[in-house]
Amino acid sequence: MNGVLERTLGILELLSAHGDGLELAAIADQLNIPRSAVHRLLADLVRCGYVRQTRDHGDYVLTTKLVSMGLSFLSNTGIVDIAQPLLDRLAQISGELVRLSVVDGERLTWVARAQGARQGLRYDPDMGSDARLSCSASGLAWMMALSDDEALALVAKQGLGTPADYGPNAPASLQAVLQMVNEARARGYALTQETYTAGLNAMAAPVRLAGQAPIGIISIAGPTVRFTEERMLALGAELVSFAAQLAAASGASPFFSQRSLPKDRQPIYAA
């Protein structure tokens, strides 16, 4: 990892995945950066308020400064204000977790949610993480609206989410991913069973206006014991309807409106 900026961002991304913090040596080893250079960069990040030490000579952890920046950005884009009422209604109808992810370049990031389950088993992951495209319903729903070449290029660049790291039914090859994408196209929405997480089923549909590339994905997820294939198929029309409603309202958000370009003007994703 070369360059001050690249190394600094690498440290921030690594610490974001370790809420309990990491020692300087662990950061240096995982990023393959000399410890002296890591020490200098951490000192700058501490001085600027993005990182703190849990104790003298202890682990380094992120502060809430980056979180604050992210929340401020989302607030100013109007994404959550537009989407939340729709997410709440769909969560009430489905009785499960409903999430919105937004397309930003080659990333698909979960930014808003509504929990429909009031008791019993609940699936409630943290926001702000990027979807693993090959094995998440959200990722498959995005790719179903792209060409095969575009979809496979995105997966090849991000890498496959294998059963060893994700759910037991995660597709283990690009061909298997493309088969799931084609099935989603035929159905009108993506449907997964224990591909992203063991014991979890999910469904998702792209948020897009006619003739335009997706600007986001709306999904529903729940425990396999309750959120069965039969239940998901029964909710398919509702999911697609809510995705269309969100697309129709997207013009009120600067973030979405900047991405509402005709499909022939959208970027072609390459590996």
CA distance 183 to 40: 51
What is the arithmetic mean of pLDDT over 58-78?
A: 73
- CA–CA separation, 22 and 28 (whole Å): 10
Q: Which is higher by pLDDT, 84 or 94?
A: 94
Cα-Cα-Cα-Cα dihedral sign, residues 160, 229, 129, 80: positive
- Residue in 204, 202, 208, 191 with CA at minimum distance from that of residue 246: 208
pLDDT of amino acid 126: 54
For helices 148-158 and 174-187, give the axis angle rounded to 10 degrees: 130
Name the helix (H) or strand (E) containing 34. Answer: none
Q: What is the pLDDT of residue 233?
A: 97
pLDDT confidence band for 122 (50 / 70 / 90):
very low
- Tokens standing for residue 25: 């040596």
Specify the CATH architecture of the domain 75-265.
2-Layer Sandwich (3.30)
**For residue 126, is it left (φ>0), alpha (ψ between -120 and 50) or beta?**
beta
Supply the pLDDT for residue 1.
56
Per-residue pLDDT, averaged over 1-9, amounts to: 85
Among 45-59, 104-118, 253-267, which stretch is predicted with the lowest mean pLDDT? 253-267
Average pLDDT over residues 118-141: 72
Highest mean pLDDT among 76-80, 169-173, 212-216, 244-248: 169-173
Mean pLDDT in residue range 127-153:
89
What's the topology of domain 4-63? Arc Repressor Mutant, subunit A (1.10.10)
The average confidence (pLDDT) of the chain is 84
What are the structure tokens assigned to 250, written together? Answer: 């997207």
Alpha helices in the chain (DSSP H): 4-16, 24-31, 35-48, 65-77, 79-94, 137-143, 148-158, 174-187, 229-249, 254-257
Tell me the pLDDT band of 271, cut-offs 50, 70 and 90: very low
Residue range 89-114: mean pLDDT, rounded: 88
Length of the chain as a residue count: 271
Q: Computed from CA positions of residues 54, 125, 100, 143, in that sequence, does the dihedral angle turn out positive or negative?
A: positive
User: Is the model's pLDDT at 12 over the cut of 70?
Assistant: yes
Residues near 214 by Cβ (< 8 Å), separated by ≥ 6?
103, 141, 142, 145, 206, 207, 208
Domains of the chain: which residue ranges? 4-63, 75-265
Instruction: Kindly state the average pLDDT of the residues 234-245.
Output: 95
